Structure 1
Amino acid sequence: MADLFANQAPQDAPPAEPREDAPLADRLRPRALDEVIGQDHLTGEEGAIGRMVAAGRLSSMILWGPPGTGKTSIARLLADSVGMRFASISAVFSGVADLKKAFAEADKAADAGQRTLLFVDEIHRFNRAQQDGFLPFVERGTVTLVGATTENPSFALNAALLSRAQVLILHRLDPQALAHLLDRAEELEGPLPLTAEARDALVASADGDGRFLLNQAETLYAAQIDEPLDPAALGAFLQRRVAVYDKDREGHYNLISALHKAVRGSDPQAALYYLARMLTAGEEPRFLARRLIRMAVEDIGLADPHALTQCMAAKDAYEFLGSPEGELALVQACLYLASAPKSNAVYKAQKAAWKSAKVTGSLMPPQNILNAPTKLMKDIGYGKGYSYDHDADEGFSGDNYWPEEMEPQTYYAPVDRGFEREVKKRLDYWDRLRRERGEG
Structure 2
Amino acid sequence: MSADLFDTASARDEPPKGPRPLADRLRPKALSEVIGQDHILGPEAPLGVMLASGALSSLIFWGPPGVGKTTIARLLADETDLHFVQISAIFTGVPELRKVFEAAKHRRQNGQGTLLFVDEIHRFNKAQQDGFLPHMEDGTILLVGATTENPSFELNAALLSRAQVLTLNRLDLAALERLAQRAEKDLGRELPLKGEAREALLEMADGDGRALLNLIEQIMAWKLDGKLDTDALTTRLMRRAAKYDKSGDEHYNLISALHKSVRGSDPDAALYWLARMLAGGEDPRFLARRLTRMAVEDIGLADPNAQTHCLQSWQVYERLGSPEGELALAQAVVYLALAPKSNSVYTAYKAAAASAKKTGSEPPPKHILNAPTRLMKEQGYGAGYAYDHEAEDGFSGQNYFPDGMKRPVLYQPVERGFERELKKRLDWFAGLRAKRGRSGAE
TM-score by length of 2: 0.94
- Take 1:119 and 1:139, find their aligned partners in 2: how far apart are those partners? 16
Is 8-17 or 252-261 further displaced after alignment? 8-17
Deviations 1:400-421 (A, max 9, x none): 2222211111111111110111
- Take 2:209 and 2:334, find their aligned partners in 1: how far apart are those partners? 35
Corresponding letter in the other structure for 2:284: P
Contact 2:6 2:87 (8 Å CA) reproduced? no
Contact 1:10 1:86 (8 Å CA) reproduced? no
- Take 2:315 and 2:438, find their aligned partners in 1: how far apart are those partners? 51
Deviation at 1:438, TM superposition (A): 2.0
Deviation at 1:56, TM superposition (A): 4.0
Corresponding letter in the other structure for 1:293: T
Pairing 1:125–2:129 present: no
Contact 1:87 1:119 (8 Å CA) reproduced? yes
Contact 1:193 1:226 (8 Å CA) reproduced? no
Q: Are residues 217 and 18 of structure 1, via their aligned partners in 2, closer, same or farther at CA, if it must alter by over 3 Å?
A: farther
Corresponding letter in the other structure for 1:159: A
SS at match of 2:416: coil
1:15 counterpart (12, 16, 26):
12
Pairing 1:324–2:343 present: no
Contact 1:178 1:203 (8 Å CA) reproduced? yes
Contact 2:6 2:86 (8 Å CA) reproduced? no
Q: Are residues 227 and 439 of structure 1, via their aligned partners in 2, closer, same or farther at CA, if it must alter by over 3 Å?
A: closer
> Which residue of structure 1 lines up, in the alignment, with residue 140 of structure 2?
142
> Which residue of structure 2 lines up, in the alignment, with residue 39 of structure 1?
37
- Take 2:403 and 2:32, find their aligned partners in 1: how far apart are those partners? 75
- Take 2:51 and 2:6, find their aligned partners in 1: how far apart are those partners? 19
> Which residue of structure 2 lines up, in the alignment, with residue 249 of structure 1?
248
> Which residue of structure 1 lines up, in the alignment, with residue 349 of structure 2?
350
Deviation at 1:224, TM superposition (A): 2.5
Percent identical pairs in the alignment equals 63
SS at match of 2:221: helix
Deviation at 1:52, TM superposition (A): 2.7
Deviation at 1:322, TM superposition (A): 1.2
- Take 1:278 and 1:351, find their aligned partners in 2: how far apart are those partners? 30
- Take 1:249 and 1:278, find their aligned partners in 2: how far apart are those partners? 13
SS at match of 2:87: strand
Corresponding letter in the other structure for 1:383: G
> Which residue of structure 2 lines up, in the alignment, with residue 4 of structure 1?
none
SS at match of 2:12: coil
Q: Which aligned runs of 4 or more in structure 1 are off by greater than 4 angstroms?
A: 16-20
> Which residue of structure 2 lines up, in the alignment, with residue 268 of structure 1?
267
Contact 1:363 1:405 (8 Å CA) reproduced? no
SS at match of 1:438: coil
> Which residue of structure 2 lines up, in the alignment, with residue 163 of structure 1?
161
Unaligned stretches of 5+ residues in structure 1: 1-7
> Which residue of structure 2 lines up, in the alignment, with residue 152 of structure 1?
150
> Which residue of structure 1 lines up, in the alignment, with residue 388 of structure 2?
389
Aligned residues: 433
Deviations 1:185-235 (A, max 9, x none): 111112211112211111122111100100100111122233211011111
> Which residue of structure 1 lines up, in the alignment, with residue 212 of structure 2?
213
Corresponding letter in the other structure for 2:360: G
- Take 1:196 and 1:428, find their aligned partners in 2: how far apart are those partners? 64
RMSD: 1.8
Deviation at 1:20, TM superposition (A): 5.8
Contact 2:399 2:438 (8 Å CA) reproduced? no
> Which residue of structure 2 lines up, in the alignment, with residue 5 of structure 1?
none
Contact 1:18 1:26 (8 Å CA) reproduced? no
Is 38-47 or 282-291 further displaced after alignment? 38-47
Pairing 1:60–2:75 present: no
Contact 1:414 1:420 (8 Å CA) reproduced? yes
Unaligned stretches of 5+ residues in structure 2: none
Deviation at 1:9, TM superposition (A): 12
SS at match of 1:223: coil
- Take 2:396 and 2:328, find their aligned partners in 1: how far apart are those partners? 44
- Take 1:273 and 1:214, find their aligned partners in 2: how far apart are those partners? 28
> Which residue of structure 2 lines up, in the alignment, with residue 289 of structure 1?
288
Pairing 1:73–2:58 present: no
Pairing 1:25–2:30 present: no
- Take 1:257 and 1:439, find their aligned partners in 2: how far apart are those partners? 45
Deviation at 1:144, TM superposition (A): 0.4
Deviation at 1:10, TM superposition (A): 9.4
Contact 1:18 1:27 (8 Å CA) reproduced? no
- Take 1:160 and 1:15, find their aligned partners in 2: how far apart are those partners? 34
SS at match of 1:224: coil
- Take 1:71 and 1:19, find their aligned partners in 2: how far apart are those partners? 26
SS at match of 2:19: coil
Deviation at 1:15, TM superposition (A): 3.0
Corresponding letter in the other structure for 1:128: K
- Take 2:122 and 2:297, find their aligned partners in 1: how far apart are those partners? 34
- Take 1:217 and 1:155, find their aligned partners in 2: how far apart are those partners? 36
Q: Are residues 394 and 10 of structure 1, via their aligned partners in 2, closer, same or farther at CA, if it must alter by over 3 Å?
A: closer
- Take 2:6 and 2:432, find their aligned partners in 1: how far apart are those partners? 86
> Which residue of structure 2 lines up, in the alignment, with residue 178 of structure 1?
176
Corresponding letter in the other structure for 2:56: L
Q: Are residues 11 and 32 of structure 1, via their aligned partners in 2, closer, same or farther at CA, if it must alter by over 3 Å?
A: same
Q: Are residues 79 and 296 of structure 1, via their aligned partners in 2, closer, same or farther at CA, if it must alter by over 3 Å?
A: same
Q: Are residues 226 and 57 of structure 1, via their aligned partners in 2, closer, same or farther at CA, if it must alter by over 3 Å?
A: farther
- Take 1:41 and 1:404, find their aligned partners in 2: how far apart are those partners? 61
- Take 1:431 and 1:361, find their aligned partners in 2: how far apart are those partners? 27
- Take 1:144 and 1:150, find their aligned partners in 2: how far apart are those partners? 20
Q: Are residues 380 and 85 of structure 1, via their aligned partners in 2, closer, same or farther at CA, if it must alter by over 3 Å?
A: same
Contact 1:57 1:82 (8 Å CA) reproduced? no
TM alignment of 1:351-430, pairs within 5 A = 351-430=350-429
SS at match of 1:226: coil
Deviations 1:107-147 (A, max 9, x none): 11111111100000011111111111100111111000011
SS at match of 2:136: helix
